[in-house]
């Protein structure tokens, strides 16, 4: 979609024509001592500006990814790499998966470091967010990239807008879940779990809720650190009050079957009334935590660590 010279990505665009301007706005975050920069550039420049800003981070930083979820109460799951990784490697990944990085409206990626604190993130709208302690460095960098300061810059995602994933392609594999799995395998991404009390859209503590959790797992072979053979994809329905409890329940359930979670792919809270009648009836104790349904497995051979 193009409007007045601004090219929107395939996966995120306004419902109505929107005069999205190129530029950035910034604000100081007192509690962290960092400046937050929100940066809008036309689609053809997104990857170039994003890669240039990754260059402001140290040689190694932690990768962070956000993946769309069907959760009724939130939009994305977040994942973080256990270790800091070379930024050159991340840039190579971004270029290799540029279709997803620059166009998929269900996927966001970035990196952060802690000493000194800084972060750059390309979100699912393909807006770039940067947190940095030095405004002089940021302003000179953005000026050099031809991105002007615009006080009160408006963004199309503050208005009604669409999100679309890239179409699935058996030939190319350029879908956001394939990209996410490749990223997770390359840099050992871990699902971020919230505090023990989740809140709903009104800010009230969540009670026990139905969850749908999609995982990639494998059969335990009795050898710690051994090859991960007998892999599978499966989906579980369970009751839990918060995300970390849901994670623990799935892990315990699989352990009882001599299986292990390799990667949490998707986690979503789903109100019971939105389930099919057969699924809803299978949940005999909806107010009691526990896994109560497992779908058929899709099995594969080979070592997912390769």
Helix (H, G, I), strand (E, B) or coil at 134: coil
pLDDT given for residue 174 in this prediction: 74
pLDDT given for residue 200 in this prediction: 62
- Strand 128-132 versus strand 161-163 pairing type: unpaired
Examine the pLDDT at 297 and tell me if it is beyond 80: yes
Tens digit of pLDDT for each residue in 249-261? 999 999 999 999 9
pLDDT given for residue 157 in this prediction: 97
pLDDT given for residue 201 in this prediction: 61
Tens digit of pLDDT for each residue in 64-110? 999 999 888 888 999 999 999 999 999 999 999 999 999 999 999 99
pLDDT given for residue 73 in this prediction: 82
pLDDT given for residue 4 in this prediction: 87
pLDDT given for residue 228 in this prediction: 58
Examine the pLDDT at 266 and tell me if it is beyond 70: yes
Helix (H, G, I), strand (E, B) or coil at 151: coil
- Asked if residue 230 lies in contact with residue 246, where contact means CB atoms within 8 angstroms, the answer is no
pLDDT given for residue 219 in this prediction: 87
Q: How far is CA 75 from the centre of its chain?
A: 9
For residues 36 and 129, what is the distance between their CA atoms, to the nearest angstrom? 7
CB atoms under 10 Å from CB of 7, counted, come to 15
Examine the pLDDT at 304 and tell me if it is beyond 50: no
Tens digit of pLDDT for each residue in 147-175? 999 999 999 999 999 999 998 665 556 78
Give mean pLDDT, residues 111-134: 96
Torsion of CA 87, 92, 96, 98, to 10 degrees: 50
Strand runs (DSSP E) across the chain, as ranges?
Answer: 2-3, 6-7, 12-14, 23-29, 34-40, 60-68, 76-81, 85-86, 107-114, 117-122, 128-132, 161-163, 189-191, 209-219, 231-240, 259-269, 290-294, 298-300
Tens digit of pLDDT for each residue in 172-230? 567 899 999 999 999 999 998 765 556 666 666 678 999 999 999 998 775 555 555 68
pLDDT given for residue 305 in this prediction: 46
The pLDDT > 70 percentage for the chain reads 90
Helix (H, G, I), strand (E, B) or coil at 211: strand
For residues 86 and 163, what is the distance between their CA atoms, to the nearest angstrom? 31
- Asked if residue 131 lies in contact with residue 35, where contact means CB atoms within 8 angstroms, the answer is yes
Tens digit of pLDDT for each residue in 14-31? 999 999 999 999 999 999
pLDDT given for residue 242 in this prediction: 87
**Could you tell me where the DSSP H helices lie in the chain?**
46-54, 87-96, 98-103, 135-144, 176-187, 243-256, 277-282
- Asked if residue 1 lies in contact with residue 18, where contact means CB atoms within 8 angstroms, the answer is no
């Amino acid at each position: 979609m193009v409007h007045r010279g601004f090219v929107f990505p395939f996966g995120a665009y306004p419902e109505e024509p929107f005069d999205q301007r190129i530029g950035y706005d910034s604000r100081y975050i007192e509690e962290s001592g960092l400046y937050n920069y929100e940066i809008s550039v036309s689609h053809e420049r997104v990857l170039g500006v994003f890669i240039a800003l990754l260059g402001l981070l140290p040689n190694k930083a932690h990768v962070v990814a956000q993946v769309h979820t069907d959760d009724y109460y939130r939009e994305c799951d977040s994942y973080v790499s256990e270790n800091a990784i070379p930024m050159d490697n991340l840039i190579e990944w971004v270029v290799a998966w540029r279709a997803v990085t620059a166009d998929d409206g269900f996927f966001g990626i970035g990196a952060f470091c802690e000493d000194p604190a800084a972060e750059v993130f390309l979100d699912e709208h393909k807006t770039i967010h940067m947190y940095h302690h030095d405004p002089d460095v940021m302003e000179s960098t953005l000026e050099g990239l031809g991105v002007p300061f615009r006080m009160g810059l408006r963004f199309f995602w503050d208005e009604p807008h669409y999100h679309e994933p890239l179409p699935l392609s058996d030939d190319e594999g350029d879908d956001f879940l394939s990209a996410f799995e490749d990223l997770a395998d390359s840099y050992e991404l871990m699902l971020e779990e919230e505090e023990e009390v989740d809140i709903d859209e009104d800010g009230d503590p969540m009670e026990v809720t139905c969850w749908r959790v999609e995982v990639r797992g494998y059969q335990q072979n009795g050898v710690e650190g051994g090859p991960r053979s007998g892999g599978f994809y499966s989906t579980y329905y369970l009751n839990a009050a918060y995300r970390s409890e849901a994670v623990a329940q799935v892990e315990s359930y699989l352990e009882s079957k001599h299986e292990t979670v390799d990667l949490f792919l998707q986690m979503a809270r789903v109100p019971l009334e939105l389930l099919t009648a057969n699924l809803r009836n299978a949940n005999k104790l909806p107010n009691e935590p526990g896994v109560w349904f497992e779908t058929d497995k899709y099995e594969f051979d080979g070592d997912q660590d390769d």
